[in-house]
Amino acid sequence: MQADTKTQLLDAAEAVARRRGFDGFSYADLATTVGIRKASIHYHFATKAALAEALMTRYHKMVGTELDRIAGQEPTAGRRLRALITFYRDATQNGQQLCLCVAFSPSRDSLPDSLDIQMSAYRQMIISWLENVFAQAASDGTVTYLTYATTEAPALLALLEGAQLAARTEQDAAAFDRATALMMGRLL
């Protein structure tokens, strides 16, 4: 079953944005990938800024769903954090791409102002989720050398995003693993 054109455009745009950044792709690239004319894309996304917003909205929802899935599936804090680290690892496709938010960050001046809020909200969602999980860890004891949830959460998000950059630079998921090995070692 073929996805509708709008979804195909979002899929194509997300893939190329995560590989090349927001300034690294054009409507012509999407047109070629999806198999419609460049002008027709404007029917679905009037401007490239609107496309960026739609991409971020969809990505935010997708990751939110993933966080819910992890929380529903993994009982302990340690296992939840392991699952999130694995999610970030897999998201790099062995160092071929980045999380959308990481890919957009360096291009923030080229992005519409509305993306500032969306990107902050996305990061806040993850940090809040992490704070809850680290708070749980204080009870279930599945994270060693634990400090405070509000200190651990932003540190882990930064570590994950930095590990993605490492993997992208080396084009190898092993770089991600080296960066996250210390944290993984703390999780029971």
Chain contacts with a copy of itself (rule: CB under 8 A): 19-21, 23-24, 98, 101-103, 105-110, 116, 119-120, 123, 145, 147, 151-152, 154-155, 157-163, 165-166, 168-171, 175, 178-183, 185
Residue 5, interface with DNA (CB under 7 A)?
A: yes
Q: Which of residues 39-78 bind DNA (CB under 7 A)?
A: 39-40, 42-44, 46-49
**72 is written with which tokens?**
């529903």
> 44 or 164, CB closer to a copy of itself?
164
What is the number of helices (H) and of strands (E) in the chain?
A: 9, 0
Measured from the CB of residue 8, what is the shortest distance to a copy of itself in angstroms? 21
CA dihedral angle for residue 156, residue 99, residue 79, residue 70, rounded to 10 degrees: 130
145 binding partner (options a copy of itself, DNA, none; Cβ < 5 to 8 Å by kind)? a copy of itself
Residue 20, interface with DNA (CB under 7 A)?
A: no
Which residues are 187's β-sheet partners?
A: 143
* 3-class DSSP assignment, residue 66: helix
Asked if residue 63 lies in contact with residue 130, where contact means CB atoms within 8 angstroms, the answer is: no
Cα-atom radius of gyration of the chain, to the nearest Å? 18
86 binding partner (options DNA, a copy of itself, none; Cβ < 5 to 8 Å by kind)? none
